[in-house]
Amino acid sequence: MNTRYRKLIIAGNWKMNKTPADARDFFKKLGPLGRKGGRFEAVLCVPAIDIPAAVSASKEMRYSIGAQNMHQAPSGAYTGEISADMLKNAGVKYVIIGHSERREYFGETDFTVSEKVKAALDAGLRPIMCVGESLQHRQDGLEKPHIAYQVAAGLSQVSEEQISRVVIAYEPIWAIGTGNTATAQDAQDICCHIRSILREKYGARKARAVSILYGGSMNPENAADLIAMEDIDGGLIGGASLTAEKFRKIIEEAAAVNS
């Protein structure tokens, strides 16, 4: 983390968990974020149906609300889908794009990821674009080229003016929901690699302003070590974001590293 150039972001991803009533209850337990400095942001990415409840329950508490997916088209005959504009209108600031679960179970490709990232930016949302290698890729030593490809493809429609509004989350698939967190050094190596790809495409000044998060079994015990690394600017947290106490603890750990 280097808050001289970029924001520290702690983001929760509830995935398909919690009703609107659960969301209200969660924010009551979580309590206000309080003052953590201008370059710190805490985000909860909630199921679409929970967005109104989360936006209203977190009012005056200084959290940002995110969605977990969106459609790339501005409107039209796409039954069951939600557009970037609809999210923006509902009070959403961030949207996760290209999570490995969406790539695996819903057929998202690097191309659809690039379309969604562009549509999110055009609508004034901040995309959290996810990349990450499988266990097989890692065992074969192919994690870096795989990540390089995903980053380049996902950002293929992002201009120099827009890149600083993009957040990238490095989530190794083998670390998601498994308890096998990447070591801080392994996660740093990949996040640094991602920044070097950004540097090649957008230049050093733009690259150092992009927040790159780590995700995959992050919890209150390992968060501080990961976030202390130069190129890891926060976390995208699944399981541990479902419990208000755990999520708050991660926020406190991150704020302590940042102080």
Q: Give the interface with ligand 13P as residue ranges (CB under 6 A).
A: 13, 99, 171, 176-177, 215-218, 236-240
Give the angle 209-177-22 at the CA atoms, nearest 5°: 85
CB of 170 to ligand 13P, least distance (A): 11
What is the closest distance, in whole angstroms, from the C-beta atom of residue 159 to ligand 13P in the complex? 26
129 or 197, CB closer to ligand 13P?
129
Least Å distance, CB 212 to ligand 13P, is 14
Backbone angles phi, psi at 120, to 5 degrees: -60, -50
Q: Which is nearer to ligand 13P, 158 or 176 (CB)?
A: 176
* C-beta closer to ligand 13P: residue 99 or 137: 99
- Residue 20: CB minimum distance to ligand 13P, A: 21
Q: Quick one: 215 or 220, whose CB is closer to ligand 13P? A: 215
Cα gap 73→115, rounded to integer Å: 9
How many other C-beta atoms are found inside a 10 Å radius of the C-beta of residue 101? 21
Residue whose C-beta lies closest to ligand 13P: 238
Let me know: does 25 contact 57? Beta carbons within 8 Å.
no
- Identify whether 99 is a catalytic site residue: yes
DSSP labels, 59-90: TTTT-EEEES--BSSSSSS-TT--BHHHHHHT
> What CA–CA distance (Å, rounded) separates 255 from 250?
8
User: How far apart are the C-alpha atoms of 215 and 99, rounded to whole Å?
Assistant: 10
Which residue number, 27 or 214, has a Cβ lying nearer to ligand 13P?
Answer: 214
Q: Which amino acid is at 168?
A: I
Nearest to 136 by CA among 126, 123, 146: 146
Choice among 41, 71, 99, 115 that is catalytic: 99
- Does 146 qualify as catalytic in the annotation? no
**Residue 147: strand, helix, or coil:** helix
Q: Which residue of the set 101, 108, 171, 253 is catalytic?
A: 171
C-beta of 205: minimal distance to ligand 13P in Å?
A: 29
Q: Which of 50, 202 has the CB closer to ligand 13P? A: 50
The distance of closest approach from Cβ of residue 230 to ligand 13P in the complex, given in angstroms and rounded to an integer, is 22
- Sign for the CA dihedral angle at 75, 121, 101, 247 comes to negative
> Quick one: tokens of 63?
């959290």
Q: How far apart are CA 37 and CA 209, in angstroms?
A: 17
Q: Which residues are catalytic?
A: 99, 171
